[in-house]
Amino acid sequence: MRVSVISFTCSAAFGYLFSKMKEDDVEISSSVVVDQTADNINKMFDISAKDSEMIVFVGGQGYAEKDILKEVLTQRFNVNSVYTQIAQDNLNRYVALSGQPLPPVFAQERLLSFPDGFECYPNVFGYEMGAIGRFEGKEVVLIPDNEEECKYIYSTYLEKYLLNNSDSKRNKYVYKLFGARTEEIDSSLKQLDKFKSCSYSYTTDETGDTRIVLKCAPRMSQSTIDEINALLIENFKDSLYSVDDFELQEVAVDLLKLYGRKLSVAESLTGGEIAAKLIDVSGASEVLFEGCVTYSNEAKHSRLLVKNQTLSQFGAVSSETAYQMATGLLNTSQCDVVVATTGIAGPSGGSAQKPVGLTYISVGDSKGIHIHRYVFSGSRNTVRQKAAKTALFLLIKFIKKHK
C-alpha cells in the first residue's frame, strides 16, 4: 500500500510518522509540508491520489480559525458535516480522565464535527481526535498535530493495517544492546553487507541503550537468517541483553521470574529510578521485594547498617559504602539478589578525587557482591538515568551468570 503524508507544519508528529513508516517499510509515495489553505489541500489531494492508496493529513483538526481541513474535505467530498455522539463520548472521556475542562461550545462544535463517513479515533492526549474514512477510492486519515496522539493512533490502529497491506513485507528482527561503543556497532553491522537481501539501522540514546533493527527479504532462507542471528549474538555477546524489542527492566523481571529470584534495591543517587522502572513492568510484584531510597548517611546507617566508620573514613560515595549497602539489604530484606547505587549526580558536590558522575553500583547475592565503578557524563538527570540503566544491565548479566 502506497501512502502520501501531508502536514501543515514540520512538527514532531510529522517527523515521527515519517520515520516510523520508513522503519516499517511502508511505501511512502510523498511527504510534504504545506500551508493550510483550501487550494493547497485540494491540490495535494489530487497529486497524492494519483499514486497512493492512503492519504494522511497531519494537523488541521483543531478549533482555531486556521484549522480548515475538515471544512475543505466536507466540500470536496460533497457530504454533510456531522456532529456524532461517538466524538462527543470521546471528548467527554478525555476530559474525565485528564482533568482538563471542557472547551467552549464553539470549540466543541469545531472539534466534534467531521465530514460524514469518517470514523473517529479516541483522543487520549488532547482535545483533537483523529479519524479515518474512504473517499474517492482512497483511505483518508486525519491525525492531530500532537506527537503523543500521533504515536497512539499509529501504533494502535494504523501500523497493523499498513503492515498487513504492505506490498513489500519484510521480516523484522530487533536486537537490544547496552554500553556498546559506536565503532563496535558499526564494525559488526558492516559484516552484514555481504547479505544482499537484508538491511539494518540502529539508534542509541544518551544512556548507551541501543536498538538495532534488521530487515530481511521474505525470500531469504531460514539458514541464512540463523547465520546472521548467530553472527550478531557472537559479536555483541558482552552488550546484548535482548533478541527482541524488550526494555532492560522487562528482561530483568523476566529473568528473575525464570530463575525464581527475589530482588531488593537500595538507591542513593538514582533516587528510586531503578525500582520505578521495574514497577513499570507487569508482574514485577512477583520478584521485587523492596526498594529503598537511602539518600542520607543516616538512612544508609540505620536502614542498611552501613558502618559510621565506613562513611566517615571513605565517604558515602565509595566502593566500601556500596558494598555495605548491598550486604545490609541481604541481611535485613527478604531477598536473595540485591542492587545498590551511590554516587555524585552533580552539578555540584564533586572534587578532584571524586568527580561529578562518579558512581558505584553493587550487584550480588549471598555468595558474593560485585562492585562496579563508573564516571558518567552529562546533566544531573542524565547521570541518574545512566546509573539506573547500567544497574539494570548489570543485574541482567549477574542473573544470567549466577542462575
Task: State how far the Cα of 154 lies from the Cα of 23, in Å rounded to an integer.
Answer: 13
Select from 345, 336, 386, 344 the least CA-distant residue to 363.
Answer: 336
Three-state DSSP class for residue 15: helix
The three state secondary structure string of 378-390 is CCHHHHHHHHHHH
Helices 297-304, 319-332: crossing angle, 10 deg rounding: 40
> Is CATH 3.90.950.20 the classification given to domain 249-401?
yes
Per-residue pLDDT of the chain (403 residues; tens, 9 = 90+): 789 999 999 999 999 999 988 888 788 889 999 999 999 999 999 999 888 889 999 999 888 999 999 999 999 999 999 988 889 999 999 999 889 999 999 999 999 999 999 999 999 999 999 999 999 888 999 999 999 999 999 988 898 888 776 655 567 899 999 999 999 999 999 999 888 778 888 999 999 999 998 988 777 888 999 999 999 999 999 999 999 999 999 999 999 999 999 999 999 999 999 999 999 999 999 999 999 999 999 999 999 999 999 999 999 999 999 999 999 999 999 999 999 999 999 999 999 999 999 999 999 999 999 999 999 999 999 999 999 999 999 999 999 999 8
Write the DSSP symbol of residue 104: P
Select from 248, 250, 172 the least CA-distant residue to 210.
Answer: 248
Contact (Cβ atoms closer than 8 angstroms) between residue 364 and residue 338: yes
Select from 382, 339, 335, 343 the least CA-distant residue to 360.
Answer: 343
Q: What is the DSSP string of 111-160?
A: HHEEETT-EEPPPSSSS---EEEEETTEEEEEE-S-HHHHHHHIIIIIHH
Contact (Cβ atoms closer than 8 angstroms) between residue 62 and residue 111: yes
Three-state DSSP class for residue 65: coil
Task: State how far the Cα of 178 lies from the Cα of 236, in Å rounded to an integer.
Answer: 10
pLDDT for position 388: 98
Task: State how far the Cα of 107 lies from the Cα of 138, in Å rounded to an integer.
Answer: 29
b/e burial code for range 346-372 (CB count within 10 A of at least 16 → b): beeebeeebebbbbbbbbbbeeebbbe
Fold for the domain defined by 171-242: Alpha-Beta Plaits (3.30.70)
Domain definitions of the chain by residue range? 2-164, 171-242, 249-401
Task: State how far the Cα of 173 lies from the Cα of 215, in Å rounded to an integer.
Answer: 6
What are the residues whose beta carbons fall under 8 Å from the beta carbon of 293, sequence distance 6 or more? 267, 268, 271, 272, 299
Long-range contact set of residues 297-305: C-beta below 8 Å, sequence gap at least 24: 300/268, 300/324, 300/325, 300/328, 300/342, 303/266, 303/328, 303/332, 304/266, 304/328, 304/329, 304/332, 304/340, 305/331, 305/332
Task: State how far the Cα of 228 lies from the Cα of 200, in Å rounded to an integer.
Answer: 12
> Is CATH 3.40.980.10 the classification given to domain 2-164?
yes
Write the DSSP symbol of residue 174: E
What are the residues whose beta carbons fall under 8 Å from the beta carbon of 190, sequence distance 6 or more? none
